Amino acid sequence: MSAPGTWASGIREALRHPFWQAVALLLGAYLLFEFGIALVPPLVGIKSAPIPASVLVQYMLTAVVGILLYVSDQEERWRRFKEPIRAALVDPNKRWIRAALLIVVPISAGFVTYRQVRPSVGAGAQLRSIHPAPPSTISFRGRTMTLAGLENLLRRSGDSAQHLATGRRVYYANCLPCHGDLLDGRGQYAHAFNPAPLSFADNGTIAQLTESYVFWRIAKGGRGLPREGTPWNSAMPAWEEFLTEDEIWSVIVFLYQHTGWKPRTWDEEGGGGAP
Amino acid sequence: MVRRKGTASLLLAGAAALAALAAFAAPPNRQGDVGADRERGREVYMKWCAGCHGDEGRGDGPAAEHLLPKPRDFTMALYQVRSTATGQLPLDEDILRVVNEGMPGSSMPGWKAVLSGAERAAVVRYLKTLSPDFAPATAPPAALSFGSAPRGGDAAALEGRDLYRRIECWKCHGDSGRGDGTSAPTLKDDLGNPIRAADLTQNWTFNGGGTAPDIYRVLRTGMDGTPMPSFGDLIEGRIITDEQLWRVAQYVRSLSPAEPPRARDVVRAARVEAGLPSGPDDSAWASVERYYYPLVGQVIVRPRWFAPMVSGLWVQALHDGRALALRVTWHDPSQSPDSSWNVWRARVAARMGADDSAAADSTPLPDRLAVQFPARLPAGLDRPYFLMGSVEEPVYLWSWESEPRSAVEATARGADRLEPLAGLTDSVATSSTYDHGEWRVQFTRALSTGDSTNQLEFVTGRPIPMAFYAWDGSNGETGARMAVGSWSAVYLAEPARASTYLSPAFAMLATAGLGLTVIWRAQRHRRKTTDDGTDIGTSEAE
């Protein structure tokens, strides 16, 4: 019917009208919130996820208010903004648009209501703190250890190549099924566990922690977590039952060496080092 | 659909081949370069591969004792995934393919996302230096021509099924393809490691890949070093045609679902009024949704178990307001105890590292399945410890056994503290069938038993935590040597409430009424203003 040129000029024409400007702004805002924001973190090397629905609703409300302020700012613009709305309500030749709106809008309302009231079979979100605060002391094989200020003594004593070799042996013989070859928490067994095993390659795990914290997690496992860590779900074994103290410190040496992260130190305020 | 998929995989294969060509286009030719290139490959190998495959490439890294299938021994130059005839060396592209994609059904992951193309190419060249068979003097292996998948409908599928029987796939893989053939317990690889006949209904576990072209390649070239033979000689001997071998591949592919199953959080038990199914083979189950529940080895308490036979199960549930019926289906190649599997069990015990010596025991063991619930419904999100609870928070279990065929209710306060509930009339009824490598068990229990201190009271309208354990006696599984999963849940549907349908209807009426009012007012306003002769646009007030 119409050539692409007339389409384009038609759209340009429409965009000079405040009503269609508002519609376009609203659509643009939605696309930005829903898809655009998630594109930013990867640019600086951070993992990304879509923004939650409740936040999206808040942002959209803000956008609507902003747009209404803009269109009602000038008398003339406000009048022109209302024109198409009023036309849809009263013009005799817009009868079909009125009828369509009268059908589509109530059906959408019914649908949204149904989604709200229908019985949900969801298991409910398991709110879980991934790195809960550690206790001040732990009992390791009957011996009390103070975590604050605790350091990996293997870093200062013995043959570091030997510690690394021990840690590597311990990792592959014990940790591999869940934490995997790539140290990304996606080993052969990982799919059966919820929460999934942690990825050490991720910058949010061992890179943010002191070695004493990692020691606590390995030694005490999932069951040693405080309540906010949902200890009943974690499949992490308490490795003090399988490994010696030196073996645990060695595997910690291996984890940092293999991923390239630096442990957070006690005198350091900020986060972990870069790989 | 099938053809489109075929085209897509052809394109992919083409792209992969191009990438491989690019990577291998400039092989190092000067002596010094060879040494430097080998060193680069060795560096990658030592960092990422040696943990399983060993520092010398003998398949004996620290991980190997807990892995089944065992990591490849590169010094033997025996490769399962090849596009060359059986007994031949693989192409570089074949080795690269496994490095890229990994080996499904084993612990070998794909490395595409971690290692650069140059690193992967270097490591492939390094692997070849681990065996003298790849010496530069030997003639390069020749790729076989595979043709492409023939089209065909139901008749072709039937032909594939006939050929499956004729070329005796069933001997190892079983009549229904579940890896339960009569030869299955005797299978071992060239190194004496036990090796399972693949469960052909679970193509996501096929070592050589799960597509029809993958299956065809395995049929054509065999998996060298394993009991899986090459059927290329049948084509050369004109016993079957190439097209017929493709039919077998297509038939085998058809035994698995289009997509691998995915675990979900909640099993929904619909409410039925017409009575619950009478047993696991009641036709009423056919229309009930199946939920997949993955299982893996128990590696938390001693003795740990790294070679579980059961890799997952399917759960279905129904209730009628008075009782809950749960149907659990899983694949197990043996109906234990079965003495023909003793040879398998001994081989597994000999080749898997163990925390204790009981693995070598040969007492006949039954198959088992346990369904776990919390002993009491948790108030909030807290639950008992997922692995059989704890002293403070016990769990309540239905524990079924294949021999004698029965089920008991039990309380567990930890993996080593499972006690049958004594002095109870059995309130859990079970009915079970073993059929060609598949167990089907139906559990039925009243929602409320009158003993709420020991037995969980089932309620409708909220998710109730639920978990499963499976044991294959013929695989030496008993006690903590078991397959485990995480907390899932079962949700017993409530009878439909009127408000579920009334609220949306009310919302629709209210919105429509509001809309009509707005239109009516706007039109009345317009009539009034035009009658008055005022300018419509500026006088409208809203």
pLDDT of residue A1: 46
Query: In angstroms, rounded to a whole number, what is the distance separating the alpha carbons of residues A266 and A147?
Result: 11
B221 three-state secondary structure? helix
For residue A167, is pLDDT > 70?
Answer: yes
Whether residues B296 and A189 touch (CB distance < 8 A) is answered with yes
* Residue B261 in domain: no
B164 min Cα distance to partner chain A (Å) = 31
pLDDT of residue B32: 63
% chain A with pLDDT above 70:
92
A129 touches chain B (CB under 8 A): no
Read off the CATH number of the domain in which B463 is found: 2.60.40.1190
B459 touches chain A (CB under 8 A): no
Q: Which of B106, B134, B162 is the last residue of a domain?
A: B134
Q: Answer yes or no: do B71 and B162 share one domain.
A: no
Q: Answer yes or no: do B475 and B527 share one domain.
A: no
Q: Answer yes or no: do B350 and B463 share one domain.
A: yes
Query: In angstroms, rounded to a whole number, what is the distance separating the alpha carbons of residues B68 and A60?
Result: 53
Q: Answer yes or no: do B362 and B286 share one domain.
A: yes
**Chain A residues closer than 8 Å to B499 by CB:** 117
User: Which option is the CATH number for A137-259: 1.10.760.10, 3.40.50.300, 3.40.50.150, 1.10.230.10?
Assistant: 1.10.760.10
Q: Answer yes or no: do B477 and B414 share one domain.
A: yes
Q: Count Cβ atoms within 10 A of the Cβ of residue B265 and give its class: 0-12 exposed, 13-18 middle, 19 or more buried.
A: middle
Read off the CATH number of the domain in which B165 is found: 1.10.760.10
Whether residues B47 and A258 touch (CB distance < 8 A) is answered with yes
Helices then strands, each counted (H, E), chain A: 10, 2
Q: Answer yes or no: do B75 and B94 share one domain.
A: yes
* Residue B11 in domain: yes
Q: Answer yes or no: do B518 and B484 share one domain.
A: no
Q: Which of A164, A176, A184, A223 to mutate to test the interface with B (most CBs of B within 10 A)?
A: A176
Average of pLDDT values for A10-19?
Answer: 86
Average of pLDDT values for A84-99?
Answer: 87
Of A124, A173, A232, the CB nearest to B385: A232
Q: Answer yes or no: do B488 and B507 share one domain.
A: no
Whether residues B512 and A102 touch (CB distance < 8 A) is answered with yes
Q: Which of B52, B319, B356, B385 to mutate to test the interface with A (most CBs of A within 10 A)?
A: B385
Number of domains in chain B: 4
What's the pLDDT band for A126 if we cut at 50, 70, 90?
low
Give domain limits for chain A: 4-117, 137-259
Query: In angstroms, rounded to a whole number, what is the distance separating the alpha carbons of residues B75 and B416?
Result: 43
Query: pLDDT higher for B115 or A89?
Result: B115
* Residue B317 in domain: yes
Q: Answer yes or no: do B319 and B449 share one domain.
A: yes
Residues 6+ apart with CB under 8 A from A89: A98, B518, B519, B522, B523
In the predicted model, residues of chain B with pLDDT beneath 50 are 1-7, 20-26, 28, 535-542
Average of pLDDT values for A62-84?
Answer: 91
* Residue B142 in domain: no
Whether residues B297 and A189 touch (CB distance < 8 A) is answered with yes
pLDDT of residue A121: 67
pLDDT of residue B538: 44
Residue pointed to by tokens 């870093």: A155
Backbone angles phi, psi at B422, to 5 degrees: -85, 155
* Residue B483 in domain: yes
Residues 6+ apart with CB under 8 A from B440: B280, B281, B327, B328, B329, B432, B433, B434
B522 touches chain A (CB under 8 A): yes
B210 three-state secondary structure? coil
pLDDT of residue A271: 43
A19 touches chain B (CB under 8 A): no
Residue B488's domain comprises 266-492
